[in-house]
Amino acid sequence: MDTIDCRNMACPAPVISVKKALENLGEIRVLLDDGAPRENVARFAGNRGFTVLEEQSDNGWALTITAGTGANIKSTPASNSGDVVFLITSDRLGDGPDELGRLLMKNFIHSLLDAGDLPSRMIFINSGVKLTTEGSDLLEALGKLAGTGVEIKSCGLCLDYFGIKDKLLSGSTTNMLTTVETLLSNERVIRL
Amino acid sequence: MENRTMIQEGHLLAVFNSPHRVMKAEDVLKGLDLQVLLIPAPRDLSTDCGLALRFSDEDNDNIMLALVREKLLPAFVCRRVKGGRYEIVWNNDDNIH
């Protein structure tokens, strides 16, 4: 089995490297840094039907990825084509005073709980990741949304940029490749 | 749907009639380390701005004292009771400040 070294790579390079390797080799062993790279690669492979065996090593993690039943590297993450995805690009809603924008965003997400239909996934990017991290007033509401099955995803690169990667309290991290695939595979994307 | 609501039985809601007042009240109370959460007011309590501060009984006295001191009293305060109903526990119209 071939081994590829994805340590010291910035997001989303590890996922892209693993995707290419699996397309050519079918199964691989990949060396990764702990945290978002390990989580993103494991989720990426798992979503596509691969079996992932994780082992901690001295300098990070070694993931052995083998093809399980129904594995398909070209398939996109599970979601229904008719599902609605919210792409939340800021911690504020709309253009105008910051204070009003933050109020409107809080009001919007709290109001979502009372709506009949919910999105299948909410992806938080740029300053939107401040809504899913420590200190956010929306953690309780996002927890309730997650409890109903809404996937809460925050951009790992953005969390890193703001220095709040270890403050994520709602949902999990995602990378740009998965975000792009999600947006392309859903009929309705609502950008906030 | 019930488990999705932000307002549980026993919660108190201070409902305001101005976004500026509710935002200022939120800032003041959080500055005093009082636990409040700014949420949309339920439809059946709707006011012009439709916003409320949610809090618990244990903080009620300190919150009301702070709002009196800062001249930021809400339009009214109500409590969620059984059956998803709300009981008014304090009304600005009934008080002279």
Task: Please enumerate in sequence order all residues whose Cβ is within 8 A of that of A119, keeping only pairs 6 or more positions apart, or say none.
Answer: A83, A84, A85, A86, A150, A190
Most confident of A56-65, A169-178, B21-30: B21-30
CA nearest A137 in B: which residue? B37
- Nearest by CB to residue A137, choosing from B23, B38, B50, is B38
Between A54 and B56, the higher pLDDT residue: B56
Residue ranges of domains in chain B: 2-94
Give the pLDDT score at A74: 63
- Any A CB within 8 A of B45 CB: no
Most confident of A124-133, B48-57, B83-92: A124-133
* Among the ranges given (A28-42, A115-129, B19-33, B73-87), the one the predictor scored with the smallest mean pLDDT: A28-42
Task: For an interface test with A, give the residue of B16, B20, B30, B37 to mutate (most A CBs within 10 A).
Answer: B37
**Phi/psi of residue A62, each to 5°?**
-115, 120
CATH classification number, B2-94, choose in 1.10.760, 1.20.120, 3.30.70, 3.15.10:
3.30.70
- Any A CB within 8 A of B37 CB: yes
Contacts of B55 in chain A (CB under 8 A): none
CA distance A105 to chain B (A): 11
Residues of chain A with CATH 3.40.1260.10: 84-191
Give domain A3-67's CATH superfamily: TusA-like domain (3.30.110.40)
- In the structure, what pLDDT confidence band is assigned to residue B48 with cuts at 50, 70 and 90? low
If interface means Cβ-Cβ distance under 8 Å, which residues of chain A face chain B? 99-100, 103, 106-107, 110-111, 113-114, 137, 140-141, 144-145, 147-148
Between A27 and A86, the higher pLDDT residue: A86
* Nearest-angstrom CA–CA distance, B37 and B29: 10
Residues of chain A with CATH 3.30.110.40: 3-67
Give the pLDDT score at A102: 94
Give, rounded to a whole angstrom, the gap between the first and last alpha carbons of chain A. Answer: 44
Please name the CATH architecture into which domain A84-191 falls: 3-Layer(aba) Sandwich (3.40)
Task: List the Cα angle A1/A56/A48 in 5-degree steps.
Answer: 55
